[in-house]
Structure 1
């Protein structure tokens, strides 16, 4: 077998944040470079213009929805323990930013009841998205968590992406946090997934024979004016490049950290299937499981073993089950062609990744997956609060705000 260099498996995590009126519990959004813009709920309150720009304004990036939520991403971290410290720093900064505008910070896949028309945003990407998708993008309001795992070999990254598609529904069963939409119980664990899958170039991707096949696909979209750049491909998993945002200061927690200097770009896989999660322990558990799964698949590949590739339509069936039922449902085990309770499949996955946990220094974080399975995912917790409160969406918001802030 040919020698190979082990990928770094460095990790970075991005989250999207909501800003909440502490009295009405309505959601407020972050605008473009002008600073904070308060978005009024439809039929409630008065429309307000941009607030004075804050010197603490968070880094922002355009997501599939083009929405104005700030996206705060960690620098490239050596392990999830460093990522925890970075996320704590970012969440504290977001909380302070919200407080400076008399707002609260909240993390979840969707707001339980806010209902509003998007205000116009001047970014070229947002204008192009509206032109392309019309009403879908105008009404879309969903928040995610995105995990980047470093794989320096881009060909290997495509191989792992092909295999990893199978396990995306398993991950979503743990990382769902959007059961409500505009005041209604959707009956789903992740309504965010439904919203995003209405957009083009989302969901489970096809398998690619090689890196060249993927690059050819991207080139076709670019040449036909289907996308402005590869960032407009919003699959649940995609090849990507990790790069430190220059506006984010780096901490000295890593041996090679240099204050305020951007980390070099490196090839990575980005897993985008997860809802934004309020509990930071849940965030780190899911991120660590993703990292460990990637490392396990790389180990298989370098031992000349392969993970069977399944058709996208079959994986999409499992994704629908994850969207609908979360941890309370069953997924299809395509190897035996039977339904299996998701908790059993997750226990099996945990056994598979166990040999790589110490190498990645993430055993403690991955062990929290057992807590999520026993306690329920965020959508389960939100529904419990909703029922106990007499179906009061404000109580759900209070719970999510408290859970977001409890570890800070």
Structure 2
């Protein structure tokens, strides 16, 4: 199989088998926006910069370009803990800075205009551009966390547990209230944009690996997609990596927050295998939960796994405690401390609105760039 456009999907197209991906190891893909000295997107001028800093060092991580020319993606190596991922990302962010790059972490650049952005050239991107057309209105940036699973059974158990809690992860990472210079009214405008893309939905309820294979192959045929990587659920199995890839979160400025969210994904996955949920949220209910998380962030109520409506902050407190309980015996729960502070304090969308109220949009851009550039924060 290839990643390029296929005019016709062959009859034998399929999903590869799950390869062993480790015992709850983690890896992070962090999308960052490259900005000029006025904190605006660099556009085509970023191309040579991305090319100069691109590297592949399996022991230290990988720096690559993205579909948007003025974005860079930082990829950690396979890590045992969230703290290991934090150290790898700190080095990768530092590498970008050494090459002269200024980066901004947010789900959407707050002032990017409406219109087709500068797109990198590749057969894969050409297919995406053709399919998305005018939906590609502005760059979006995500924090994507992979968790390694040893086999198909544990992968599906972890999938079920993480799926039920994706709106919570959405709310905790929400940090893109502004788009095109305006307040979108959302906690994450990125979520609204992503929902307009084909096959980019909340992941469906699956009860077995065979369910995943059948569902994915049906989508591939319908979309005439050449391989399974063109199915962009907000969490998806990555069979050839042996991981689940959580894609629901906005890119966040603070490395401490990145580590906290990574640890939470790792903890939820481990607990889901050790103590599986008794119930699964219906697809329609999960979609409503996700909309409320996207609109209101932590300041809403959603249906919990026991089918009761509860405040998101209450659910978050319990889920963080559950993750801590499974990570603490291995002494890898410390990054979760940052989430306790998040739940007790001001949300990122409200912080951004406060900054804009006090100093306007230039102040917000400067604040996001400064926090993204803080390699200890």
TM range (shorter): 0.7 to 0.9
Give the corresponding residue for 2:260. Answer: 285
Which residue number in structure 2 is paired with residue 136 of structure 1? 135
Which residue among 18, 41, 59 is the counterpart of 2:33? Answer: 18
**Larger C-alpha radius of gyration, 1 or 2?**
1
Is contact 1:20-1:105 (8 Å) kept? yes
State the secondary structure of the residue aligned to 1:272. strand
Pair 1:94 & 2:96 matched: yes
| 2:244 corresponds to 1:269 | yes
Does 1:373 pair with 2:335? Answer: no
Gaps of 5+ in 1: 30-36, 40-49, 242-264
Once the two structures are TM-superposed, the CA of residue 157 in structure 1 deviates from its matched residue by 0.8
2:282 aligned residue: 311
Q: Distance in 2 between matches of 1:56 and 1:119?
A: 19
Show the counterpart of 1:217.
Answer: 215
Counterpart in the other structure of 1:124 = 123
1:73–1:307 CA distance, 2 compared to 1 (3 A): farther
Question: Once the 2 structures are TM-superposed, how far is the Cα of residue 290 of structure 1 from its aligned partner?
Answer: 0.9
Paired residues for 1:137-152 under 5 Å:
137=136, 139-152=137-150
Give the aligned partner of residue 362 of structure 1. 332
Structure 1 200/53 Cα, relative in aligned 2: closer, same or farther at 3 Å? closer
In the alignment, what sits opposite 1:160? 158
Give me the whole-angstrom Cα distance separating, in 2, the residues matched to 1:211 and 1:360: 29
In structure 2, the partner of 1:111 is 109
Instruction: State the TM-score, normalizing by the size of structure 2.
Output: 0.86
Inter-partner Cα distance in structure 2 for 1:307 and 1:362? 27
- 8 Å CA contact 1:11–1:77 kept in 2: the answer is yes
CA-to-aligned-CA distance 1:2-52 (integer Å, 9 cap, x gap): xxx996110111101111112x321125xxxxxxx327xxxxxxxxxx547
Q: Which runs of 5+ in 2 are unaligned?
A: 1-19, 56-62
Structure 2 match to 1:38:
45
Structure 1 contact 152–266 (Cα < 8 Å) conserved: no
TM-score, with length taken from structure 1 = 0.80
> Structure 1 residues 386 and 356 mapped into 2: Cα distance closer, same or farther (>3 Å)?
same
**Alignment match, 1:27:** 41
Q: 1:393 aligns with which of 361, 370, 374?
A: 361
| Distance in 1 separating the partners of 2:142 and 2:35 | 17
Tell me if structure 1 keeps the 8 A contact 2:267–2:322. no
SS at match of 2:289: helix
**Mapped partners of 1:149, 1:111: distance in 2:** 28
Asked if the contact 1:292/1:360 (under 8 Å) is kept, the reply is no
Distance (whole Å) between structure 1 residues aligned to residue 218 and residue 305 of structure 2: 32
Distance between the aligned counterparts of 1:356 and 1:60, measured in 2? 34
Per the alignment, residue 17 of structure 2 pairs with none
Q: 1:329 aligns with which of 278, 300, 321?
A: 300
